[in-house]
Amino acid sequence: MLQLRDADESGPARGPGSPGSPGAATLVPGAAGPPFEPAVPPARQTLRPLSVRTAGRAGRLRQYFVFRPGTIEQAVSEIRVVVLPAEDGEVQSVWLLTEIDHWNNEKERLVLITDWSLLVCKYNFISLQCQHVTRIALSAVDTISVGEFQFPPKSLNKREGVGIRIQWDKQSRASFINRWNPWSTNIPYVTFTEHPMADADEKISSLCRLENFQTQLIQAVKKAHKEGPVPGSANGVLVLERPILIETYLGLMSFINNEAKLGYSMTRGKIGF
């Protein structure tokens, strides 16, 4: 490596144009420096994706009014006023289930098993009021079916899971007019499945177990048939394990209802219904 330096003042005198004259620079070999190293760019930074927080099961649980602290306890306490002791007897158990109507619509229900009746209550968990009660005499129940849901082959809106269907008055199907009327209440059966959040809250899960409901219902129906037989009819209940048929094809209305959870008392933005 060569470097420039001024001529040594103590050296011999030279002419003004000579290489060693004062004011002239001399090229001299210099000490070998470190080799040239190009600047190293900073290490590449890894961009981490933004973490998107999704509503977990606990978050969805808070959207249901029934799972808010104290709500189900108050509802169970107040729902007993719909019981008519002379007609229903004493309350044996209370259940939180989902009713599936004949058009595959989900509806949140409180269900009471009494000595002689099955009470299906449409309960508003926001205003804490019972809005409608369907009373079914246990002695009129003739068939209880348990199994997976089944739909016609060309149905566009199906559901999975297990349900229980309770039939009475020896009628297995509704009339043609009632089957094709989505608002008809003249259906000779009722179908239940577990609440969608049945296993999310340990305190309430015991009220939502379909298998336990099935066991108690069968016992209550058999007892009612034995203690209060219906004159002129064959008494006894038939318990079957078979698919539960829901005869819907297009199912647009039930699709909207079930996807939006319109059959449940829930918070929806800043309002609840």
- In order, the DSSP letters of 235-272 are ---EEEE--EE---SS-HHHHHHHHTTTTS-BEETTEE
Q: Find, among 170, 193, 196, the residue nearest to 246 by Cα.
A: 193
Q: What is the pTM of this model?
A: 0.75
Q: Find, among 107, 110, 108, the residue nearest to 93 by Cα.
A: 110
Task: Give the SS3 label for residue 161.
Answer: coil
Position of tokens 């060309």?
154
Buried b (16+ CB within 10 A) or exposed e, 81-112: ebbeeeebbebeebbbbbbbbbbbbbbbbbbb
Position of tokens 């306490």?
77
Q: Find, among 214, 163, 212, the residue nearest to 192 by Cα.
A: 163
171-to-134, 174, 192 alpha-carbon distances in Å:
17, 7, 18
- pLDDT tens profile 193-217: 999 988 887 888 899 999 999 999 9
Mean pLDDT is highest, among 1-5, 20-24, 159-163, 234-238, for: 159-163
Round to whole Å and give the CA distance between 237 and 114.
17
Centre a 10 Å sphere on the Cβ of residue 23 and count the other Cβ atoms it contains.
Answer: 7
**Position 136 pLDDT exceeds 50:** yes
- pLDDT tens profile 42-83: 555 544 443 333 456 666 777 899 988 899 999 988 888 899
Write 74-82 long-range contacts (CB < 8 A, 24+): 74/128, 75/110, 75/123, 75/125, 75/128, 76/110, 78/128, 78/130, 79/110, 79/112, 79/121, 79/123, 79/130, 80/112, 81/130, 82/112, 82/119, 82/121, 82/130, 82/133
Beta strands, E only, 115-258: 117-124, 129-137, 141-150, 162-168, 189-194, 238-241, 244-245
**Position 273 pLDDT exceeds 80:** no
Question: Quick one: pLDDT band at residue 166, thresholds 50, 70, 90?
Answer: very high
Mean pLDDT is highest, among 21-25, 163-167, 174-178, 180-184, for: 163-167
Adjacent-strand bridge partners of 98:
108, 193
Q: Find, among 119, 165, 117, the residue nearest to 137 by Cα.
A: 117
Whole-number mean pLDDT of the chain?
80
Q: In this predicted structure, what is the pLDDT of residue 23?
A: 46
Distance of CA 18 to the CA centre of its chain: 98
